[in-house]
């Protein structure tokens, strides 16, 4: 830090602003919560009784692991589920040596396999697709193995207001912009 005639300046470069990944304003009023996933925009819209209560970026299936459009319901909820399909391999020091491993991937001596944790798991298919907390590495771009990743800071809010039977629609997408903040009040 140093002083100039214009004030105090820091020598460190300015930090990049984090993108807004979600907005949530559930009124807890009447009606059921529904979830609409827009695959082309990688955005989810949340409604209660037809009223908009929030939106978030999502990360759905990347090329080769696409998330199938369709009408689903939440079949199961678990605070923590470990993937039986995907994980990573790390060395003894904890450094990831293979970030895209499967349970049958050969593990080099001195390394170990860890199953991917899926916190706030909300299953929507019988073949392993669900909504859960995860990284949104590039908002607006697909990056998962087929599941629907939700922002880590947000997913506890959604998990609390959904139930087994909550409707989830996954569509190819028609929406071109996310809701404006003033819509959420």
CA distance linking residue 76 with residue 95, whole number of Å: 33
- Secondary structure letter of residue 152 according to DSSP: T
Q: Which of the four pLDDT bands, split at 50, 70 and 90, describes residue 173? A: confident
Cβ-count burial 26-39 (b if 16+ within 10 Å, e if not): beeeeeebbbbbbb
Q: What is the DSSP string of 114-148?
A: EEEEEEEEEE-STTS-EEEEE--SSTTS--BSSSE
Give residue-wise pLDDT tens across range 115-136: 999 999 999 999 989 999 999 9
DSSP, collapsed to helix, strand or coil, labels residue 50 as coil
Closest CA to 142 of 63, 60, 68: 60
- H and E: helices and strands count for the chain: 1, 13
pLDDT at 145: 87
Average pLDDT over residues 157-168: 98
- Secondary structure letter of residue 184 according to DSSP: G
pLDDT at 2: 47
CATH tag for 18-175 (out of 2.40.440.10, 1.10.3720.10, 2.60.120.260, 3.20.20.110): 2.40.440.10
CA distance linking residue 162 with residue 72, whole number of Å: 13
Q: What is the distance in angstroms between the CA of the first residue and the CA of the last residue of the chain? A: 40
Q: Parse the chain into domains and list their residue ranges.
A: 18-175
Rounded alpha-carbon distances, angstroms, from residue 172 to 36, 40, 51: 11, 6, 22
Give residue-wise pLDDT tens across range 4-24: 455 455 566 667 777 899 999
Average pLDDT over residues 84-99: 93
Q: Which of the four pLDDT bands, split at 50, 70 and 90, describes residue 147? A: very high
Place of tokens 């214009």: 6
CA distance linking residue 177 with residue 137, whole number of Å: 19
């Amino acid at each position: 830090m140093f002083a100039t005639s214009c004030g105090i300046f820091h020598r460190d470069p300015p930090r990049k602003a984090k993108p807004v990944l979600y907005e949530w304003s559930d009124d807890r009023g009447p009606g059921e919560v529904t979830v609409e996933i827009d695959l082309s925009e990688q955005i989810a819209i949340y409604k209660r009784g037809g009223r908009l209560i929030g939106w978030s970026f999502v990360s759905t299936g990347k090329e080769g692991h696409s998330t199938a459009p369709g009408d689903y319901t939440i079949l199961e909820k678990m605070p923590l589920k470990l993937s039986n399909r995907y994980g990573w391999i790390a060395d003894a020091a904890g450094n990831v040596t293979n970030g895209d491993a499967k349970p049958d991937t050969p593990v080099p001596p001195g390394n170990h396999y860890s199953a991917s944790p899926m916190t706030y798991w909300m299953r929507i298919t019988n073949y392993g697709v669900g909504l859960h907390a995860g990284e949104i590495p590039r908002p607006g771009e697909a990056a998962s193995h087929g599941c629907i990743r939700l922002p880590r800071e947000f997913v506890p809010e959604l998990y609390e207001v959904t139930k087994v039977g909550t409707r989830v629609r996954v569509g190819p997408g028609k929406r071109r912009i996310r809701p404006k903040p003033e819509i959420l009040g």
